């Protein structure tokens, strides 16, 4: 089987799995406990935070909050930062549902929420952003890498624009598809809040984290025993946290991985030869969004599945809904949207797998065209 749906999730790596087992069976103690075992687990969590913040290019300074995943981290970033004094909140129209739907919810509750358009290449429209920025804007959330297209937004440019028009606004970025895949330096990006997740980088599901530059920015949205600086109560998911750390330790070299994945993508695309398809965005090599005319992307996904190659139609999180907000907002026609598929690679994808998948997609496409003649 060739798995090319790594943007949806990844298998847990051996190192992370071993850690998960170890901290679930041997070192299972509650980190809030005052005996030695608890204290020791607590300091292990600290070391995990250190590892993750370092991977984000910043120093650890009690500035990372573990959550049940990226969805919760995004909710915490937005709802936890929200104040009644907020005049306006800005989001990109291409955000993941765990940001976009929070924005819609706030809008429903009467908050002034606006959305920044996308360019045809999937990046946000910086001119539209600049037009929408003014001193009224209190909060901005723009993702770093888009989960459906791989488009990379220039968050540093967003930061500079923010400083020009509304320096006090809080800047959040969903970094789920960027973390472990492209070089990140949160100081350079200028974000106040940044979301990451473990299961996209060979860690376990059910664990994510929110980087927070200044904890005063956040009110809790979950109350309880006061864990995670009182911002996210609940007994720490120690096994998953430590496995998250192991997954980060196991990244390897980001630049080497990036180059390898780029080669995979080139090899894959090379096999598509004469097929007339549209590459919807070509930023992060990890995510490749293609559109075919005259066919249904879902049919291609199933034909590939039959040949043991797993790809996706749009993002897994939105495949239960018809249409595709992101591609539509990039200006794709209905036919192009319907005919879109997403292939997402990982550092573990081999060139052979990529070639095989490309060849198979070529065959499936031609077979389908023939069957629909």
* Alpha carbons 32 and 20: distance in angstroms, whole number: 19
Which span (134-142, 150-158, 239-247, 291-299) binds another protein, by CB under 8 A?
291-299
Site for another protein (CB under 8 A): which residue of 46, 114, 128, 298?
Answer: 298
Selection from 308, 283, 198, 193 nearest residue 248 by Cα: 198
Site for another protein (CB under 8 A): which residue of 306, 308, 334, 352?
Answer: 306
CB of 322 to another protein, least distance (A): 5
Taking the least distance from each CB to another protein, the nearer of 162 and 313 is 313
CB of 303 to another protein, least distance (A): 5
The number of residues that bind another protein (CB under 8 A) is 15
CB of 270 to another protein, least distance (A): 25
Does the footprint of another protein cover residue 1 (CB under 8 A)?
no
Does the footprint of another protein cover residue 296 (CB under 8 A)?
yes
Does the footprint of another protein cover residue 293 (CB under 8 A)?
no
Selection from 311, 313, 367, 373 nearest residue 344 by Cα: 311
* Alpha carbons 373 and 367: distance in angstroms, whole number: 10
Pull the structure tokens for residue 343.
């292939």
- Characterise 248 by phi-psi region: left (phi > 0), alpha (psi -120 to 50), beta (else): alpha
Does the footprint of another protein cover residue 299 (CB under 8 A)?
yes
Which span (78-86, 109-117, 136-144, 292-300) binds another protein, by CB under 8 A?
292-300
Catalytic choice (166, 264, 293, 317): 317
Q: Are 147 and 95 in contact (CB under 8 A)?
A: no
Burial of 66 (0-12, 13-18, 19+ CB in 10 A): buried
H or E stretch including 171?
strand 170-174
Does the footprint of another protein cover residue 135 (CB under 8 A)?
no
CB of 4 to another protein, least distance (A): 17
* Alpha carbons 88 and 251: distance in angstroms, whole number: 38
Does the footprint of another protein cover residue 373 (CB under 8 A)?
yes
Site for another protein (CB under 8 A): which residue of 25, 216, 274, 322?
Answer: 322
CB of 333 to another protein, least distance (A): 17
Q: Are 277 and 292 in contact (CB under 8 A)?
A: yes
Alpha helix ranges (H) inside the chain: 14-25, 36-55, 70-81, 97-108, 126-132, 155-165, 186-189, 238-249, 254-271, 297-306, 325-329, 334-338, 351-371
Site for another protein (CB under 8 A): which residue of 59, 135, 321, 369?
Answer: 321
Does the footprint of another protein cover residue 372 (CB under 8 A)?
yes
* Alpha carbons 122 and 146: distance in angstroms, whole number: 8
Angle between helices 238-249 and 14-25 (to 10 degrees): 150
Does the footprint of another protein cover residue 302 (CB under 8 A)?
yes
* Alpha carbons 205 and 222: distance in angstroms, whole number: 20
CB of 22 to another protein, least distance (A): 36
Taking the least distance from each CB to another protein, the nearer of 83 and 371 is 371
Site for another protein (CB under 8 A): which residue of 13, 64, 269, 303?
Answer: 303
Does the footprint of another protein cover residue 369 (CB under 8 A)?
no
Instruction: Tell me whether residue 317 is one of the annotated catalytic residues.
Output: yes
Selection from 183, 180, 173, 137 nearest residue 153 by Cα: 173
Which span (76-84, 132-140, 230-238, 297-305) binds another protein, by CB under 8 A?
297-305
Site for another protein (CB under 8 A): which residue of 160, 187, 256, 305?
Answer: 305
Taking the least distance from each CB to another protein, the nearer of 130 and 298 is 298
* Alpha carbons 196 and 174: distance in angstroms, whole number: 7
What amino acid positions are annotated as catalytic residues? 317
Can you give the binding site for another protein, defined by CB under 8 A? 296, 298-303, 305-306, 320-322, 371-373
């Amino acid at each position: 089987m060739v798995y090319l749906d790594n943007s949806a999730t990844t298998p847990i790596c051996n190192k992370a799995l071993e850690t998960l087992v170890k901290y679930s069976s041997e070192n299972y103690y509650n980190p809030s406990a005052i005996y030695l075992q608890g204290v020791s687990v607590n300091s292990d969590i600290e070391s995990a935070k250190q590892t993750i913040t370092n991977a984000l290019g910043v120093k650890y300074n009690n500035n990372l909050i573990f959550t049940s995943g990226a969805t919760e981290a995004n909710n915490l970033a937005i709802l936890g930062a929200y104040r009644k004094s907020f005049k306006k909140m800005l989001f990109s129209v291409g955000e993941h549902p765990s940001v976009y739907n929070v924005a819609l919810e706030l809008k429903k509750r009467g908050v002034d929420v606006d959305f920044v358009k996308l360019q045809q290449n999937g990046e946000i429209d910086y001119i539209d952003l600049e037009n929408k920025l003014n001193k009224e804007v209190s909060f901005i959330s723009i993702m770093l890498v888009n989960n459906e297209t791989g488009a990379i937004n220039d968050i540093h440019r967003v930061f500079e624009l923010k400083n020009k028009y509304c320096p006090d606004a809080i800047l959040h970025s969903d970094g789920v598809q960027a973390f472990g895949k492209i070089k990140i330096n949160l100081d350079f990006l200028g974000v106040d809040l940044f979301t990451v997740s473990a299961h996209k980088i060979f860690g376990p599901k059910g664990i994510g984290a929110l980087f927070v530059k200044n904890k005063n920015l956040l009110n809790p949205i979950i109350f309880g025993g006061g864990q995670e600086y009182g911002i996210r109560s609940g007994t720490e998911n120690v096994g998953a946290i430590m496995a998250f750390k192991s997954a980060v330790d196991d990244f390897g070299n980001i630049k080497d991985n990036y180059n390898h994945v780029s080669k995979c993508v080139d090899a894959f695309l090379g096999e598509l030869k004469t097929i007339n398809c549209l590459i919807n965005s070509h930023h992060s090599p990890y995510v490749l969004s293609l559109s075919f005319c005259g066919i249904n992307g879902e049919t291609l996904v199933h034909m590939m599945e039959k040949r043991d190659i797993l790809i996706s139609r749009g993002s897994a999180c939105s495949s239960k809904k018809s249409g595709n907000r992101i591609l539509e907002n990039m200006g794709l026609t209905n036919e192009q949207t319907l005919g879109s598929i997403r292939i997402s690679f990982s550092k573990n994808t081999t060139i052979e797998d990529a070639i095989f998948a490309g060849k198979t997609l070529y065959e499936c496409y031609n077979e389908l065209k023939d069957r629909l003649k």
